[in-house]
A and B are shown apart, each in its own frame.
Chain A
Amino acid sequence: METPTKLPPSSPSSPTTGFSVPSAEKVDGFPRRSMRRARQRRSHSSSQFRYQSSQVELTPLPLLKDAPVAELHDLFCKKLQQCCVLFDFLDCVADLKGKEIKRAALNELVESVATSRGVLIEPLYPEAIKMISVNIFRTLPPSENPEFDPEEDEPALEASWPHLQLVYEFFLRFLESPDFQPSLAKRYVDQKFVLQLLELFDSEDPREREYLKTILHRVYGKLLGLRAYIRKQINNIFLRFIYETERFNGVAELLEILGSIINGFALPLKSEHKQFLVRVLIPLHTAKSLSIFHAQLAYCVVQFMEKDATVTEHIIRGLLRYWPKTCTQKEVMFLGEIEEILDVIEPSQFIRVQEPLFKQIAACISSPHFQVAERALYFWNNEYILSLIEENCQVILPLVFGTLYRVSKEHWNQTIISLIYNVLKTFMEMNSKLFDDLTSSYKVEKQNEIFRL
């Protein structure tokens, strides 16, 4: 049975809730890149408000901490039901009293689940899941900017976040509570629930995706029966992203979860997992928006290799097949990934791919875009890669020699030329005999060419 590696317990963003989160728990294994970008500029509503029946007037309930033990569960349940009422956040002054009551109730629920023991009893499960579903499951609104570019544009932020955040926080605390019993939860957190949860990853709001990521990871870790289903649905989301829509905001987050899932795969790898690598992860490299999730994708790919070295050839040949033809920015990313791969490659696997690989590297070195050439030449600064090259100098040097020699004479960029000189020097020291042979045959060939003309 595979076990996903542990993500540190976390609260994805420090909440403005009524209680403070211990600072040790704020440490989160995930990068916060997306969080920093999120500046409140415009916010959007969800489509759910049209289904809202006439507003119910909320009345404040007694505080949970003041309730006698006998009435605690009943009150908890009432608060959950109260939190099922949805408010219109586009109209920021509408029903302020009701919003405040719900916010206070959610805060109390979060605190109660996080700190007291024995609160989560069986009858509360369906109520809690219902409250969560009613609040978070909604059709995401159309993007206000049809050409939304996740790299350039500000994301549209969810207007109802003041409540939504607390609901997510509650869900997370619920899943992480020591009282949480998967055997009870699985009746309510079922396939349909998970599918809706996965669809929310398309949210433009990075804060929401951050929560979803941690929550899905917990669900995957605790509800074993859903694992295969979750993987399959993530597969489908990726395939739709690659071959149909090219748009899905949560690819990076899903890949991050997968990274830890792959890490926990049992050996030998099942064919399902290999198929996922070859038919989903590798084709993901073709996406236009690769830069947004490339770090996570490369991490997944390298995880696979570390699990099972025999997939190396599939990976390298796959990357070579999808090598960017015109986008130099992507080319630099590919080269970065190749270096990460070479960092952990087994020498026996290296031999199997060195030929096509170094043909591509030679092509990159002769790229007129100096960043591409530079990135490729940096490989020679990596000691492990250098040792692999040295061992296979007889094969590799003839593949790159002509390019190195030519580019050293022709490239417009001085940095590239000096990098190439270093590389040529390294080769000369590695195998001076071969180097000299190649130099003279190269010169003869050049002569012949001139002669033919």
Chain B
Amino acid sequence: MGTGTGGDDSLYPIAVLIDELRNEDVQLRLNSIKKLSTIALALGVERTRTELLPFLTDTIYDEDEVLLALAEQLGSFTVLVGGPEFVHCLLPPLESLATVEETVVRDKAVESLRKISQEHSPVDLEVHFVPLVKRLASGDWFTSRTSACGLFGVCYPRVSSTVKAEIRQHFRTLCSDDTPMVRRAASSKLGEFAKVLELDYVKSDIIPLFTALASDEQDSVRLLAVEAGVSIAALLPQEDLEDLVMPTLRQAAEDKSWRVRYMVADKFSELQKAVGPEITKNDLVPAFQNLLKDCEAEVRTAAANKVKGEVLPEDSRETIIMTHILPCVKELVSDTNQHVKSALASVIMGLSTILGKDNTVEHLLPLFLVQLKDEYPEVRLNIISNLDCVNEVIGIRQLSQSLLPAIVELAEDAKWRVRLAIIEYMPLLAGQLGVEFFDEKLNSLCMAWLIDHVYAIREAATCNLMKLVEKFGAEWAQNTIVPKVLGMANDSNYLHRMTTLFCINALSEVCGQEITTKHMLPVVLKMSTDQVANVRFNVARCLQKIGPVLDSSALQAEVKPVLEKLATDQDMDVKYFALEAISGMYLFNLPTYIFSETFSFSSILFFFFSFSLSP
């Protein structure tokens, strides 16, 4: 195609672009659209305005993917057309894009329009931008009217009062549009629009619209109005709330559609914030109780997430929760739906800080225990992950006395994520309970995790041991855990033998030189003749890791010969790690030629292996 074969070289970029834009391959068209700013830069501002933009406006009929890229590009084109003075040149292509069917394209076009609206001067806004909004608002097909809904809010604050009145009128019309799609768009932008309106107009214009949308025949419109209600409530003075928004919100909380009730439950914290403590206490708390008892699990789940009631007035928060919320919570603990219970489990521990020690022990602990034994792992997990909140309130001893049996049970849970969560609490529990209690009740658990069939658990168990030794000291380690760990070196399962090495990696430093040299090193060295290559190269890595703990005589006399032997191993990964260890520890002055790129291949292989090793 020779669109640009004329004598004028400067036409070349646009010719290439046009050629590419007409290419059959979408990817090429997409690429050329993404390079649009480069092309505009090459053309200069004037020709971008007079040639490129008209071309783009005319050719808007393409794959949605290309249009999306175009819509996005145009949002940051202001400089390329000559700055704010000329920004209105971008409106025609964006206007077309704002009317296409595909939602993502349209939304992107609206986003770009909103962005460049800020770059219009007040005069340009009225001369160019507002007429576009009006055209979209009175378009034939629902797509353009839907797009218009998102544009009122950005131009309203910066136009004259006559134009403001027109904009309000257009918005009103769209709120009662014939098609539910447009009413949904209007409903979702109602809050945003209310924010830029003068308070008097909020009362006189927005409130009737809000009331109407909140009782629309379609629940999809009504539920969007709930969100708008939150924004509107925040704008009004306290004394107007009762008359203007509360009747509608109350009605929404009891809507016959569960989707609307869900929305109320989901926005409950925001709603409380917007209406303030007084109305919350008198009005929202009863509504909330109903939501917690709703017949649909979806609604109960959303409500259960909000039981902490962050926004309740400080002085009456405890009483309200005790008398109104807690009875509902007690029922939710044995709900039939797992998602409800799981949502509750993720927040219920937070109640203890509000209710204080005595109430927690009396009312909440029994609930925690029930949830800890729940049949769904997610519920149990959520409780365990939040143990620290309760710990702060009632102290670890009381916590462990009442919760320990349940925790021990969970340590053997069939879901590894639950086991993992328990492991992470072990150092905390151990520290608080003391050595004796730990040895008696929990030690065997910690050791059992080392031979878990899930790698993540074995890894966490290794790390756990290190933290325990930090708490209980080297002597304890030598007596209780080191023998067991070293015993695993003779296990028939190579994964368990490797666990010994991983434990030594973690423990050598906290156990100190003596234990490491006397007890651990011989085992490691012995394992260098293991028949599994993975064990052998982990010996090399382990030696490198514990090297700093050892004294130089041990290094020279015992470690060096073993590593040298491993460096001649027939397995190339073993060789690699042995050499790596040797150089890493500066054991010898090695000639550099050993580290040529021969090894990069094996290191790549190693990564493959290490992935395939973790189950």
Chain A interface residues toward B at CB < 8 A: 45, 47, 49-51, 139, 141-142, 192, 195, 236, 239-240, 243-244, 279, 283
Q: Is B288 an interface residue (CB 8 A)?
A: no
Q: Is B296 an interface residue (CB 8 A)?
A: yes
A141, B258: Cβ atoms closer than 8 Å: yes
Residue of B181, B295, B297 with most chain A CB atoms under a 10 A cut-off: B295
Q: Is B298 an interface residue (CB 8 A)?
A: yes
A195 to B219, CA, bound (A): 12
A244, B296: Cβ atoms closer than 8 Å: no
Residues of B within 8 A of A279 (CB): 101, 141
Residues of A within 8 A of B298 (CB): 142
Interface size grouping (class) on chain B: 20 to 34
**Residue from B179, B217, B220, B296 in contact with A192 in the complex, judged by beta carbons closer than 8 Å:** B217
A142, B258: Cβ atoms closer than 8 Å: yes
Residues of A within 8 A of B259 (CB): 139
A244, B103: Cβ atoms closer than 8 Å: yes
B217, A195: Cβ atoms closer than 8 Å: yes
A106 to B174, CA, bound (A): 44
Q: Which residue of chain A has the shortest Cβ distance to B180 in the bound complex? A: A236
B258, A139: Cβ atoms closer than 8 Å: yes
Q: Is B268 an interface residue (CB 8 A)?
A: no
Q: Is B102 an interface residue (CB 8 A)?
A: yes
Q: Which residue of chain A has the shortest Cβ distance to B294 in the bound complex? A: A50
Residues of B within 8 A of A192 (CB): 217
Q: Is B142 an interface residue (CB 8 A)?
A: yes
Q: Is B256 an interface residue (CB 8 A)?
A: yes
Given contacts A47-B295, A50-B294, A142-B296, 4 further A-B contacts (CB under 8 A): A47-B296, A240-B181, A243-B103, A283-B101
Closest Cβ of chain B to A152, distance in Å, is 21
Q: Is B257 an interface residue (CB 8 A)?
A: yes
Q: Which residue of chain B has the shortest Cβ distance to A141 in the bound complex? A: B296
Residues of A within 8 A of B180 (CB): 236, 240
**Residue from A195, A236, A243 in contact with B102 in the complex, judged by beta carbons closer than 8 Å:** A243
B256, A47: Cβ atoms closer than 8 Å: yes
14 A–B contacts, CB within 8 A, in A order: A47-B295, A51-B256, A139-B256, A139-B258, A139-B259, A141-B258, A142-B296, A236-B180, A240-B180, A243-B102, A243-B103, A243-B181, A244-B184, A279-B141
A317 to B485, CA, bound (A): 71
B142, A239: Cβ atoms closer than 8 Å: yes
Closest Cβ of chain B to A254, distance in Å, is 16
Interface set, chain B 232-266, CB cutoff 8 A to A: 256-259
B181, A139: Cβ atoms closer than 8 Å: no
Closest Cβ of chain A to B297, distance in Å, is 8
A244 to B187, CA, bound (A): 15
Residues of A within 8 A of B142 (CB): 239
A421 to B184, CA, bound (A): 56
Residues of A within 8 A of B219 (CB): 139
Q: Mark B121-155, 1 if CB is under 8 A from A, else 0.
A: 00000000000000000000110000000000000
B101, A243: Cβ atoms closer than 8 Å: yes
Chain B interface residues toward A at CB < 8 A: 101-103, 141-142, 179-181, 184, 217, 219-220, 256-259, 294-298
Q: Which residue of chain A has the shortest Cβ distance to B63 in the bound complex? A: A321
Residues of B within 8 A of A142 (CB): 258, 296-298
A316 to B295, CA, bound (A): 48
A240 to B103, CA, bound (A): 11
Residues of A within 8 A of B141 (CB): 279
B295, A49: Cβ atoms closer than 8 Å: yes
Residues of A within 8 A of B257 (CB): 47, 139
Complex A-B, nearest 8 residue pairs according to Cβ-Cβ distance, in ascending order:
A50-B295, A139-B257, A142-B298, A243-B103, A47-B258, A236-B180, A139-B256, A236-B179
A357 to B143, CA, bound (A): 29
Residues of A within 8 A of B220 (CB): 240
A192 to B257, CA, bound (A): 16
Residues of B within 8 A of A244 (CB): 103, 181, 184
A283 to B101, CA, bound (A): 9
Residues of A within 8 A of B297 (CB): 142
Residues of B within 8 A of A139 (CB): 219, 256-259
A49 to B180, CA, bound (A): 28
A369 to B217, CA, bound (A): 47
A192 to B141, CA, bound (A): 23
A154 to B101, CA, bound (A): 33
Residues of A within 8 A of B296 (CB): 47, 141-142
A142 to B181, CA, bound (A): 21
A267 to B280, CA, bound (A): 61
A142 to B298, CA, bound (A): 7
Residues of B within 8 A of A50 (CB): 294-295
Residues of B within 8 A of A239 (CB): 142, 179, 181
Residues of B within 8 A of A51 (CB): 256
A171 to B480, CA, bound (A): 79
A283 to B100, CA, bound (A): 12
Q: Which residue of chain A has the shortest Cβ distance to B217 in the bound complex? A: A195
B258, A236: Cβ atoms closer than 8 Å: no
Assess A236 versus B256: contact at CB under 8 Å? Given A243-B101, A279-B141. no
A29 to B298, CA, bound (A): 39
A105 to B220, CA, bound (A): 36
Residues of B within 8 A of A236 (CB): 179-181
Residues of B within 8 A of A141 (CB): 258, 296
Closest Cβ of chain A to B101, distance in Å, is 6
Residue of A51, A139, A244 with most chain B CB atoms under a 10 A cut-off: A139
Q: Which residue of chain A has the shortest Cβ distance to B140 in the bound complex? A: A275
Closest Cβ of chain A to B477, distance in Å, is 49
Closest Cβ of chain B to A175, distance in Å, is 23
Q: Which residue of chain B has the shortest Cβ distance to A48 in the bound complex? A: B256
A239 to B220, CA, bound (A): 14
Q: Which residue of chain B has the shortest Cβ distance to A90 in the bound complex? A: B295
A171 to B298, CA, bound (A): 32
Residues of A within 8 A of B102 (CB): 243
Residues of B within 8 A of A240 (CB): 180-181, 220
Closest Cβ of chain B to A109, distance in Å, is 26
Closest Cβ of chain B to A171, distance in Å, is 21
Residues of B within 8 A of A283 (CB): 101
Closest Cβ of chain A to B184, distance in Å, is 8
Closest Cβ of chain A to B59, distance in Å, is 15
Residue of B184, B257, B294 with most chain A CB atoms under a 10 A cut-off: B257
A236 to B181, CA, bound (A): 8
Residues of B within 8 A of A47 (CB): 256-258, 295-296
Residues of B within 8 A of A45 (CB): 295
A390 to B256, CA, bound (A): 62
Closest Cβ of chain A to B166, distance in Å, is 28
Closest Cβ of chain A to B235, distance in Å, is 28
A429 to B257, CA, bound (A): 66
A319 to B549, CA, bound (A): 72
A240 to B101, CA, bound (A): 12
A49 to B141, CA, bound (A): 40
Q: Which residue of chain A has the shortest Cβ distance to B62 in the bound complex? A: A321
A349 to B322, CA, bound (A): 76
Q: Which residue of chain A has the shortest Cβ distance to B61 in the bound complex? A: A321
Closest Cβ of chain B to A429, distance in Å, is 31
Residues of A within 8 A of B101 (CB): 243, 279, 283
Q: Which residue of chain B has the shortest Cβ distance to A237 in the bound complex? A: B180
Closest Cβ of chain A to B76, distance in Å, is 26
A47 to B257, CA, bound (A): 8
Q: Which residue of chain A has the shortest Cβ distance to B103 in the bound complex? A: A243
Closest Cβ of chain B to A158, distance in Å, is 15
Closest Cβ of chain B to A154, distance in Å, is 19
Q: Which residue of chain B has the shortest Cβ distance to A243 in the bound complex? A: B103
Closest Cβ of chain A to B429, distance in Å, is 37
Closest Cβ of chain B to A150, distance in Å, is 20
Residues of A within 8 A of B256 (CB): 47, 51, 139
A49 to B293, CA, bound (A): 13
Residues of B within 8 A of A243 (CB): 101-103, 181
Closest Cβ of chain A to B343, distance in Å, is 15
A150 to B180, CA, bound (A): 25
A371 to B220, CA, bound (A): 41
Q: Which residue of chain A has the shortest Cβ distance to B262 in the bound complex? A: A142
Residues of A within 8 A of B179 (CB): 236, 239
